[in-house]
Structure 1
Amino acid sequence: MSQARIDRTLRRMAIQVWEKLKEKEPGNNLILIGLNERGYATAQKIAQYLDEVADIKTTPHQYHVHDKAASRNVPDCNEKFVLLVDDVIFSGKTMFSALSAICNIYEPNTIEIATLIDRGHRKYPLGSDLTGIKVPTKLGEHIEVMLKKGALDQAILFKNK
């Protein structure tokens, strides 16, 4: 997946977020939380496009799922529309960990999941509310979203031998 296609996909996803906000949260009660490094880069791009297409200014927050102290860095999500963002969803373990941590501390109005790429093969009972592209993979395959200087660059499918 090229950088141009990633950009087009994330722009479309930002428009979908805007439509959901108009429907569910008329005020700007959006909290964007990007998971780990690549999810945060994805959230930054969605925030940029929300500003461009809908004049919605929001600052994405980064949540490091495997850092026990990271929950202290999550902003107040009470009575907000929380959008958890990751680059790729596979088993759902990372997303489930983030959901659990946030719901143990806060009571958002709505929590939705946005992912650039959905690989399928879920082990946890959750899905993506906003998906850029679905790429059904075999269990021996892996998709990696590459970063260049902290920004999304390309997505590559690797086949394990």
Structure 2
Amino acid sequence: MTSARTVLGPDEIARALTRIAHEILEANHGPDGLVLLGIPTRGAYLAQRLADRLAEITGDDFSGRVGALDVTMHRDDLRATPTRASHPTRIPAAGIDDRVVVLVDDVLYSGRTIRAALDALADLGRPRAVRLAVLVDRGHRELPIRADSVGKNLPSARSEHVSILLDEVDGRDAVTIEGGAA
């Protein structure tokens, strides 16, 4: 049994989110038309943190431009795990039609959660563009999905477990990895 090792601490997570915020602004040529939708649970908290960073950088009010997108009913593994907890979808006051929607998640792995998010988003409206921001990309894609902004590329074995710990949920900020070959 291997113990978890910390690969990002609170300061590195904060720096990664600031860098992602700048990348989002650069790709969008400013804050106009941006909407952030976090994928619960931790992606929703990261979206709020990114909205706060964007507000600090631009001086714009992002409070009406951040929400959460529940993907539970769009997942392709519902038959295997039908008791998944769902979370309420909160669409920002700005709406999503003709907006640049930035999906925010904690870890990008197989790409299946993001596929479900794209399906859920299509049920809600028609964004001008959809972008993806993740704190950690660990590889092992099963679908042709890539992130536009990544806090940390973390190559890992499929047998390893990457955990994102956020103060709002876990009482501390950290990214840890454990497991792998014995």
TM above 0.5, yes or no, is yes
Residue identity in the other structure for 1:73: R
Task: Note the aligned Cα RMSD (angstroms).
Answer: 2.1
Provide the C-alpha distance between the structure 2 equivalents of 1:87 and 1:103, rounded to a whole number of angstroms. 21
**How many residue pairs align between the two structures?**
158
Provide the C-alpha distance between the structure 1 equivalents of 2:25 and 2:145, rounded to a whole number of angstroms. 22
Counterpart selection for 1:86 from 86, 95, 105: 105
Higher relative contact order (Cα pairs below 8 Å, separated by 6+ residues): 2
User: 2:82 aligns to what?
Assistant: none
Residue identity in the other structure for 1:118: D
Q: Does 1:103 align with 2:122?
A: yes
Provide the C-alpha distance between the structure 2 equivalents of 1:14 and 1:148, rounded to a whole number of angstroms. 19
Counterpart selection for 2:152 from 125, 129, 133: 133
User: 2:175 aligns to what?
Assistant: 155
Cα distance, 1:71–1:108 mapped onto 2, change above 3 Å:
farther
Provide the C-alpha distance between the structure 2 equivalents of 1:73 and 1:106, rounded to a whole number of angstroms. 13
Deviation at 1:56, TM superposition (A): 2.9
TM-score (normalizing by structure 2): 0.79
Q: Does 1:142 align with 2:161?
A: yes
Counterpart selection for 2:90 from 65, 73, 77: 73
Deviation at 1:27, TM superposition (A): 6.3
8 Å CA contact 2:100–2:129 kept in 1: the answer is yes
Deviation at 1:72, TM superposition (A): 5.8
8 Å CA contact 1:82–1:108 kept in 2: the answer is yes
- Once the two structures are overlaid, the 10-residue window that deviates more, 13-22 or 32-41, is 13-22
Structure having the larger proportion of residues in strand: 1
The C-alpha deviation readout for 1:82-123, integer Å capped at 9, x for no partner, is: 000001110011111011111233111110000010001011
User: 2:80 aligns to what?
Assistant: none
Deviation at 1:70, TM superposition (A): 6.1
Structure 1 runs not aligned, ≥5 long: none
Residue identity in the other structure for 2:47: A
